[in-house]
Structure 1
């Protein structure tokens, strides 16, 4: 069967993560939630350790801990805490406790590097079902709440005036972010998930006149990075997850240089 080819499975996994992460990443960029994404991703390692310790699904463990972290951060954000400090403490603490927890798992073989940096070439058909199921859930959530999320992002006061509760929309983003982290851990690993959320969206921003265009362009850029990074990794024999992020970063650099040159030429004409 076609899905017996590990490269085909890897490509489909990369596309699934790209389609889920990039539109959500647009909201992460608009709301300046980069550290929020990092903290949620780092918590996934603690979820992996707990899942292996209790012999349950790694996906379930990563999803639950990501959701717990995202909810905790969302709750604390309105309580007067210095958020950059709080996020730093929680993100690195969760990662450290997860790494220490893994060291206590006797009799459990675990490739820690695969969870930190991803192992897209080892994706199974079961993993593909989880990734695309999660991607479908995230896209459905964003499509359902798109206008409300945009309004709450642009102006909480306007959202309240329109009968929209910004805290509810924050909860929708929290759930979507936790799902993306749980499905992306196999592809790019917890240390690179935030990059796949932010870099494609940041690259799409200068090219977009509307929020919808930015989300679509971000998804295209993320998909290009996933497939291009997979091909480059196969040819150059480099780690696949980091190579995917490198391709995304190169696209971002090209867009930034192109935008700067366009503005410079426009000013001189």
Structure 2
């Protein structure tokens, strides 16, 4: 339980600033598409005997590059993301089924298995989280300008497409470190829900990132506690706890901001 708690807190802190940009850019479905691409990364890692982490990051980055290259080619963004996300998920599942010598419990990747986190997994989560936080701190101002006003970003010498690629890289890293905690199907929820809840409480971008980290941490710990008491799956319980915090902040947020 201690390792599970540390893993959940590590993922929550790493996902918080990235989740803010996901909410601001209205790109929640991109987070889901990136997570689905992780299944293909897992399949490729098994097929070619590669480490899981680099393969997942590579698959997620390939998905982001594909979206960037195909954008503006006559397809709506939601349509494009839907095609790529479900294709990557289906291709990954088909590839795993073709590997006759591999016996893999996909439920651990789809829904997470935080109680099975090892010390090496914990090191991966916290080292990956530190890299993500470092990247987001480095690119924070440029990403913020590119998000709020692309024209102003160009005038300031900032390339919005380049910043979007940095964001895609950070999202790929989050997916890679979070897949063991909440699984592919719930990663997008852990990205979006704490940030969306924080948005109701604060007035500045930086405060929103800090508040999202606090909400995500409380959701991770509360979800684990609830899973322990009710004997429910830990990953989905964490997301349900985050949803409870979201409802609470949505109710009290207007009163706080008004004051």
TM-score range, shorter chain: over 0.9
Deviations 1:149-185 (A, max 9, x none): 1000000000111111111111110100000011110
**1:107 paired residue number:** 101
**2:58 paired residue number:** 64
Q: Distance in 2 between matches of 1:75 and 1:178?
A: 17
Q: Distance in 2 between matches of 1:217 and 1:156?
A: 26
Q: Does 1:131 align with 2:125?
A: yes
Q: Distance in 1 between matches of 2:70 and 2:133?
A: 27
Q: Which runs of 5+ in 1 are unaligned?
A: 1-6
Q: Does 1:192 align with 2:178?
A: no
Q: Distance in 2 between matches of 1:13 and 1:244?
A: 12
Q: Distance in 2 between matches of 1:257 and 1:77?
A: 37
**1:44 paired residue number:** 38
**1:116 paired residue number:** 110
Q: Distance in 2 between matches of 1:87 and 1:46?
A: 15
Displacement, 1:57?
Answer: 1.1
Displacement, 1:89?
Answer: 0.7
Range moving further from structure 2, 47-56 or 78-87 = 78-87
Q: Distance in 2 between matches of 1:121 and 1:149?
A: 35
Displacement, 1:258?
Answer: 2.1
Q: Given the two structures, how large is their TM-score scaled by the length of structure 2?
A: 0.96
The answer as to whether partners of 1:29 and 1:198 remain within 8 angstroms in 2 is yes
**1:13 paired residue number:** 7
Q: Distance in 1 between matches of 2:75 and 2:102?
A: 39
CA RMSD of aligned residues (A): 1.3
Deviations 1:58-98 (A, max 9, x none): 12221110111112112222444211111111111111111
Give the length in aligned residue pairs.
257
**1:91 paired residue number:** 85
Q: Given the two structures, how large is their TM-score scaled by the length of structure 1?
A: 0.93
Q: Distance in 2 between matches of 1:106 and 1:125?
A: 30
Q: Determine which of 168, 173, 186 is the counterpart of 2:167.
A: 173
Q: Does 1:234 align with 2:228?
A: yes
The answer as to whether partners of 1:36 and 1:73 remain within 8 angstroms in 2 is no
Displacement, 1:259?
Answer: 3.3
Q: Does 1:140 align with 2:134?
A: yes
Displacement, 1:56?
Answer: 1.4
Q: Distance in 2 between matches of 1:124 and 1:41?
A: 22
Q: Distance in 1 between matches of 2:232 and 2:16?
A: 24
Q: Distance in 2 between matches of 1:254 and 1:49?
A: 39
Deviations 1:13-57 (A, max 9, x none): 111110111110000000011111111100000110111111111
Runs of 4+ in structure 1 deviating by more than 3 angstroms, as ranges, are: none
Q: Distance in 1 between matches of 2:209 and 2:193?
A: 12
**2:158 paired residue number:** 164
Alignment of 1:203-214 (within 5 A): 203-214=197-208
The answer as to whether partners of 1:204 and 1:214 remain within 8 angstroms in 2 is yes
